[in-house]
Structure 1
Amino acid sequence: MVDQDSSRTPFVVNEGPHPWRRFVAVGDSFTEGVGDPAPGLPGALRGWADRVAEVLAQDVDDFAYANLAVRGKLIAQIVADQIEPAVALNPDLISICAGGNDVIRPGTDPDDIAVQLEDAVARLSSTGAAVVLFTGIDTGFTPVFRPFRGKVAIYNENVRAIAERHDCIVADQWALKVVQDSRFFDDDRLHYNALGHHEVARMVLRALNVPNDLQAMQPDPIPQRTWREARREDIGWAREHFAPWVLRRLRHQSSGDHIEAKRPIPTPVHLPGAEG
């Protein structure tokens, strides 16, 4: 849907370079890029948002990008800590993916979470920037998160309705069937790996209607494991990743409690392979 208000930047790009000069991403670990280490930079993360920014920067000399996302954040924290700082950066393109950590918590209501999301989207949309929203992934393929599939689906319908009301772009993870495969996820089975973030970047660029050269990446074949090997792997995953995740929730702790935004101000994007 194209905004009829000419004071806002249209987000449908038919020909020529895209119209955006300043991209700001807000959210949680998904947008921070957890699971996708930056090559040659120990401890640094890349992620889908960095990958999208790299493509957008190719055609715009003065393009700048900021990423305010912090892992583990609930939607109330994202609204409180990231929305006004994002607005203050004067972006003309904003992405927000929030609420996923809330949805997978027992006892939460996806409709209530969506009310908080809409408050944030209304504020971001009021700036005149193009706003990108995300549906959640279809969790039916993973046994651990399959029980939340219905809640995710309800939340997604809310996301689509919010996008319609506020003229946002929808990046539809639910429809991204290629990533419903364990080979696109990090060892923690929760966050995308480089393959997953790459596919999400391709999806976002399609939603933005921005031509690009990103090609689908073929994962390695699924290794053959005996039943005993698979169970040993499951036990190792539960000990290393699942148990700490549960304990943090019981203790009301977050993996992002002492993490700062990786890119708090808009800066030029270093293109892979560029000199300097």
Structure 2
Amino acid sequence: MALGDSFTEGLGDPEPRSPGGLRGWADRVAEELSAGHEDFAYANLAISGKVLHQILAEQVGPALDLKPDLITLNAGGNDLLFHRSDPDKLALELDHGVETLASTGATIVLFTGPDWGATPVLGRTRGKVAIFNENMRVVAARHDAVIADLWALRQLTDPRMWDPDRLHFSPLGQHTIAIMVLDTLNVPHSLEPLAPRPLPERRWREARADDIVWAREHLFPWVVRRLTQRNADGDRHPKRPQPGPVFGAAMPPGSYIGNDPRHMTD
């Protein structure tokens, strides 16, 4: 059972044959967990743009009803990046939600925020994200949850791990995160680290020009959409609301769907 926002929904990793047209790290993890287990079922309730209180209010109840054995919860990123929320207050709210989920006896996986320090504009939130991450570790310790540490996953400092919007992960990034989650759970799997082609060197002026284009074409439109679409949130639905098998008849466990992330490096 996967709960959260666009990170868990899989934004940045398009796949027309996947529910909702997205794949993502959670689908990849489910694919590996399902291998050799005919009764395996996977649900993903994550919806892009959701803030912490929405995720807890809208997704925890349905998750409890399904009585899962494993629950992943990612929440708080939109609060910190776009709503200037207090990381300490967020952690208190998160703690209550994790306590409810942990009462089921399921294994709970929580995610620290990644390090946006090298990203213009978003890098200004680095301190808040670091504080929230330390609070997250306390919450995990209190409820015997597992931490999937995006901040410590230094491969994510490579720009090829990110979608062009620099807010979501590319297929390569999603693949890398899936490996980290499976390793964190100490689950044997078939995923192998991928080594993308080296990036050409860029001059300082070229990098700054790219930053300006990124802010104009990706960051500002994203913020405006989040501010103007709040009333439409009720019309959006999770891509996998009901638990079910991950693979179809023509897709045996362990097979790869979609484009090979090694070739999505530009």
State the match for 1:269 in structure 2.
Answer: 246
Q: For 2:105, give the aligned amino acid.
A: G
SS of the equivalent of 1:140 reads coil
Q: Which residue of structure 2 lines up, in the alignment, with residue 203 of structure 1?
A: 180
For 1:147, the equivalent position in structure 2 comes to 124
1:185 counterpart residue number: 162
Distance 1:145 1:78 in 2: 22
Matched with 1:45 is 22
Asked whether the 8 Å contact 1:53–1:269 carries over to 2, the reply is yes
Secondary structure at the aligned position of 2:2 is classed as strand
Matched AA of 2:193 = A
SS in structure 2 at match of 1:61:
coil
Asked if 1:118 is matched to 2:118, the reply is no
> 1:106 & 1:269 partners in 2: Cα distance?
35
What is the SS of the residue equivalent to 1:104?
helix
| Counterpart secondary structure, 1:190 | coil
For residues 150-177 of structure 1, give each alpha carbon's deviation from its aligned partner in whole angstroms, at most 9, with x where no partner exists: 1011101111111111011111111100
Partner of 1:194: 171
* Contact 2:49 2:226 survives alignment (8 Å): no
Q: How do residues 17-166 of structure 1 correspond to structure 2 at under 5 angstroms?
A: 24-38=1-15, 40=17, 44-105=21-82, 107-166=84-143
Contact kept, 8 Å, 1:71 with 1:255, in 2: the verdict is no
CA contact (8 A) 2:20 2:239 kept: no
CA distance in 1 between partners of 2:224 and 2:143 (Å): 38
**Secondary structure at the residue paired with 1:102?**
helix
Distance in 2 between residues matched to 1:220 and 1:258, nearest whole Å = 41
- Secondary structure in 1 aligned to 2:114? coil
Cα offset, 1:252, TM superposition: 6.6
Q: Which residue of 2 aligns with 1:175?
A: 152
User: Matches of 2:227 and 2:245 in 1, distance apart?
Assistant: 40
Gaps of 5+ in 1: 1-23
Structure with the largest fraction of helix = 2
Percent identical residues: 55
2:197 to 210, 220, 232: 220
- RMSD, aligned CA: 2.4
CA distance in 1, matches of 2:196, 2:121: 22
Q: TM-score, normalised by structure 1?
A: 0.84
The amino acid across from 1:267 in the alignment is G
1:236 paired to 2:213: yes
Provide the C-alpha distance between the structure 1 equivalents of 2:210 and 2:32, rounded to a whole number of angstroms: 37
**More divergent stretch after superposition (239-248 vs 252-261):** 252-261
What count of residue pairs does the alignment treat as equivalent?
253
The CA distance in 2 between the partners of 1:270 and 1:103, in whole Å, is: 35
Q: Distance in 2 between matches of 1:25 and 1:47?
A: 11
Q: Which amino acid aligns with 1:140?
A: G
Q: Deviations over 1:100-128 (max 9, x none)?
A: 11112354210101111111101110111
Q: Encode CA deviations 1:194-217: one digit per residue, 9 max, x unaligned.
A: 011111100100111001121111
Do 1:73 and 1:254's aligned partners in 2 also have CA atoms closer than 8 Å?
no
Provide the residue aligned with 2:262 in structure 1: none
Q: Which structure 2 segments of 5+ residues have no match?
A: 254-266
| Aligned residue type for 2:122 | F
Once the 2 structures are TM-superposed, how far is the Cα of residue 229 of structure 1 from its aligned partner? Answer: 4.9
Return 35-44 or 207-216, whichever deviates more: 35-44
